[in-house]
Structure 1
Amino acid sequence: MNPREVAALIAYVVKLDPRLALDDQAAAAERLAQWCDLLSDVPAQASGWDAARVARDYIARNPYRIQPSDVSRPWHTHKADVMGRHVGTFEPTAHPEINPDDETGNAFVAALRAERQAVAAGQQPPVTHRAITSGPPAQQVERRLAALGSYMPPTVRQALAEFRPQRAARERLAAANLPDPLDVPCTWCKAPVGRPCRAPRMAPGSDAIGFRPMKAPHPTRVDDAAAYHTAAQEQETAA
């Protein structure tokens, strides 16, 4: 706040709490200087913030005379909460000045820093994600990934993905919250849950019939998995 805004805030709190009125001009000037010093980095109004409202709420709830720190502390708490919810991304189309072929990334970093400063100053609201990072969809994804099990660090799992294509595919589907055919049994080839679809195979010179795993699931299993996934999501939403 600039000195004029601080003076307006002091006049407002004196109106609400007449005990703060000062008749001595020197004392009033000293108080203004003190408040200006402590509130220099606090905006009068910002996204989700109003210094006058904070002062009014303090006076309404506390018997003690308000101090400038009673306004600055809530601002820094509000600022930390906003920055904690800000994901630090922005829409590239809103920044046509950024050259996508710039290998240095200086323009991107500058734009990202400017956005974070604007959010921290309350000049714009934070950018948040909610679709998959919170709520029932996120809980369902966590349960599906937990059901698949994990016994190795993510970096090792990524390195082994090409040698475990079926497991890697299931993890990608779970992370994207998409239907996984192996979550349901196959009514066509009778493959159980967690096992790939199979095709009959006869050994040469023998009447015995075996089975070989298939790379792609049967279409009926894909349809059943989609219906199962939809039903699970509806149940999550209802809960």
Structure 2
Amino acid sequence: MTPHEIGALLAYVGRLDPRLVRTDEHEAGDQIGQWYELLEDVPAVTPHGWDARVAARSHILDSPYPIMPVDIARRWRAYQRDRLERHTDPTPAADPDDQAAWQAELVATRQAVASGAAQPVAHRQLVSGPPHPDVEARLRQIGSCIPPAVREALAPYRPARAAREAAVAHGHPDPLGVRCAWCHARPGEPCRRRRVGPDGRSRGHAIRAIPHPGRLELAAEQARQLPLPATA
């Protein structure tokens, strides 16, 4: 702020808190000089949310003590910290091989955000809605979110899912589509080995690569009960 802007700020604060009013011209000049020493780097107002008069008014409402220039300076620093914490550096337009230009653009962007001249750039968030047309076209092309080559590479690490996919591919009913009466696995979950100790309590819950026979029979029975597709 310039001395003229600080004089206007003091006149505004004096209307809200008469304790800061200086009637003597020499004392008023000293007061402006004192405030200018601490608020020289603080703007009076920025395009995005900072106003020194609002900061002064908030302090007068919150504190019973007369406002000091350091109170406004501290609020300005808190304003800068908040903006930088919400800012994510966008990729500079400069050549990445030109390290000096790359760093200079990053510094200039951060200074603009901290000074209130630009808005913080936040992380892009996932939003609800239909998938992108490119994603839909890709899914129609490969038939799944996981390409076949990747699915084959993951099969040794997902034996239960691999067995389920193999059964469905060969025209067998999906055993994980029903609840298991033995281990009580819910639909979509693999079966687990239940080892019962002498006290009747379960001792193990390891995942089975192959569903329990009763679950296979239940899936086959439900598949037989499904109505056949209508023929022309």
Q: What TM-score comes out, normalization by structure 1 length?
A: 0.52
User: In structure 2, how many angstroms separate the alpha carbons of the residues matched to 1:127 and 1:71?
Assistant: 26
Task: Spell out, residue by residue over 1:181-213, the C-alpha distance to the aligned partner (whole angstroms, 9 max, x if none).
Answer: x6xx64724486699xxxxxxxxxxxxxxxxxx
TM-aligned CA distance change 1:188 to 1:74, over 3 Å: same
**How far has the Cα of 1:30 moved from its partner?**
1.2
The CA deviation string for residues 116-136 of structure 1, in whole angstroms up to 9 with x for no partner, is 11111111111111405xx99
Which of 188, 196, 209 pairs up with 2:168?
188
Displacement after TM superposition at 1:43 (Å)? 1.4
Residues 1:18 and 2:6 are matched in the alignment: no
Partner residue of 1:166 out of 154, 162, 170: 154
Could you say which structure has the greater relative contact order, defined with CA pairs below 8 angstroms and 6 or more residues apart? Answer: 1
**Deviation of the 1:33 alpha carbon:** 0.9
Seen in structure 2, the aligned counterparts of structure 1 residues 57 and 194 have a Cα distance that, compared at 3 Å, is same
Higher gyration radius (CA): 2
Distance apart, 1:34 and its partner CA: 1.0
Q: Percent identity at matched positions?
A: 39
1:109 equivalent in alignment to 2:103: yes
1:62 and 2:50 aligned: no
SS across alignment from 1:49: coil
- Structure 1: how far apart are the matches of 2:53 and 2:98? 44
Check if 1:131 corresponds to 2:125.
yes
Instruction: Provide the residue aligned with 1:77 in structure 2.
Output: 78
Equivalent position of 1:200 in the other structure: none
What letter matches 2:125 in structure 1? A
How far is the alpha carbon of 1:24 from its aligned partner? Answer: 1.7
**Are 2:51 and 1:50 equivalent residues in the alignment?**
yes
1:188 alignment partner, SS class: helix
Whether 1:29 aligns to 2:29 is yes
Give structure 1 stretches of 5+ with no counterpart.
Answer: 137-161, 171-181, 196-239
Gaps of 5+ in 2: 129-149, 177-187, 191-232
- Where 2:168 maps in the other structure, the secondary structure is coil
What corresponds to 2:89 in structure 1?
A: 88
